[in-house]
Amino acid sequence: MNFKTLTLLSSLVITVFAAPSPQTVDSLLINTPVSVVSCGAVTLSWQGGAAPYDLSVFDGTTSTKIKPLATTPSTSFAWDPIDVPAGTSVFFDVRDSAGFIAQSALIRVDAGDDTSCLPASA
């Protein structure tokens, strides 16, 4: 390569890497609920990002997905009933259409008076 070609290539590389990102997505943040009660209900909410959103609940001990909860254009979702046994440590994961991910803090599922929403083995 001659000097002129090398200068042109290095200018191109600098332009590509220095160009501002066209993405102007707000930070995606999910709120950790105060309490989660087995067979009860909870409203999960988040802000930022770009709709639609995919919301899932994960096992806090193994980090495996327990179940997907919703794909929604909204920034909140009512999970009812909470079909996870009491004593399970969980966290929530929301992903936006741009690929950004936010996760809640760990929270323990508390026991409720009702267990009718749980599988017989729970």
Burial 83-102 (b: 16+ CB within 10 A, else e): bbebebebbbbbbbeeebeb
Please report the pLDDT score of residue 26 as a whole number.
76
User: Alpha-carbon distance 52 to 99, whole Å?
Assistant: 11
Q: Please, what are the averages of pLDDT over each run of 10 residues along the chain (122 residues)?
A: 47 41 68 97 97 98 98 98 97 97 98 93 60
User: What domains, with CATH codes, occur in the chain?
Assistant: 25-110 (2.60.40.10)
Residue with token string 């200068």? 7
Per-residue confidence (pLDDT) for residue 3, from 0 to 100: 46
- CA–CA dist 110, 98 (Å, integer): 34
pLDDT at position 92: 98
Q: Note if the pTM is more than 0.85.
A: no
Whether 53 and 94 have beta carbons less than 8 Å apart is answered as yes
Nearest one of 31, 26, 122 to 83, comparing CA atoms: 122
CB 91 within 8 A of CB 106: yes
The pLDDT of residue 25: 52
pLDDT of residue 120: 83
Strand order of the β-sheet with 76-79 is 29-30, 42-47, 76-79
